[in-house]
Structure 1
Amino acid sequence: MMPFSDEDLKPAVGSIIKSRIAPMLAKDGGAIVLLDIIDGKVYVQLQGACVGCSASGSTLKFIVEKELKAAIHPELKIINVPQGMEDKLQELE
């Protein structure tokens, strides 16, 4: 069980994305946006060169997920939100 509320998680997750993850992705023309956190699920959207990139799944798992789980909590679930699904987060798993 997640020991933090979604509101508690937002600043920490946002800070890690901004300071650690976004600069890594930017080196290859990519970007990432934190859309929301609901029930311990972190909804992000890969953008820029990450859209349609064959390595985006690996980026999500081995960079985004790894960084957030190590820094915050191992039970965080990271979900990439495809373009156009920003208003349907509850439908994604």
Structure 2
Amino acid sequence: MFPFTDEDLQEPVSNIIKIKIAPMIARDGGAIELLAIKNAKIYIQLKGACVGCSASGSTLKYVVEKNLKEAIHPDLKIVNVPIGKSDYLED
């Protein structure tokens, strides 16, 4: 069982994305948006230059996932929701 509720995760995830992850991604013309946290899954959307970039998978794994897992909990699941696919969010 995951030790945090979705509500518990909202502020720390949001802060890490805003303070640490977003500036790194912005240096290359990209952006990131936190869409939702459901059942301990963090749904984000990479935007800007990240859309269609061949390195976006690496950005997701080695920037977004790495920072959130190190700062909060190693069992977090991070899901990138493609632009226009908001129905991708699981209930």
Residues 16-64 of structure 1, C-alpha deviations (whole Å, 9 max, x = no match)? 0000000000000000000000011000000000000000000000000
The farther-off stretch of 82-91 and 64-73 is 82-91
Q: Unpaired runs of 5+ in structure 2?
A: none
Match of 1:47 in 2: 47
Q: How many residues align?
A: 91
Match of 2:83 in 1: 83
Give the superposed CA RMSD. Answer: 1.1
Give distance in 1, aligned partners of 2:84 and 2:36: 15
Counterpart residue identity of residue 14, structure 2: G
Match of 1:17 in 2: 17
TM-score normalised by L of structure 1: 0.94
Match of 1:69 in 2: 69
Counterpart residue identity of residue 63, structure 2: I
Matched residue SS, 1:87: helix
Give distance in 2, aligned partners of 1:88 and 1:48: 19
Match of 1:57 in 2: 57
TM-score normalised by L of structure 2: 0.96
Give distance in 2, aligned partners of 1:78 and 1:18: 16
Counterpart residue identity of residue 60, structure 2: L
The alignment-based identity, stated in percent, is 66
Matched residue SS, 1:25: helix
Counterpart residue identity of residue 6, structure 1: D
Match of 1:3 in 2: 3
**1:86 CA drift (Å):** 1.6
Counterpart residue identity of residue 46, structure 2: L
Match of 2:33 in 1: 33
Moved over 6 A (4+): none
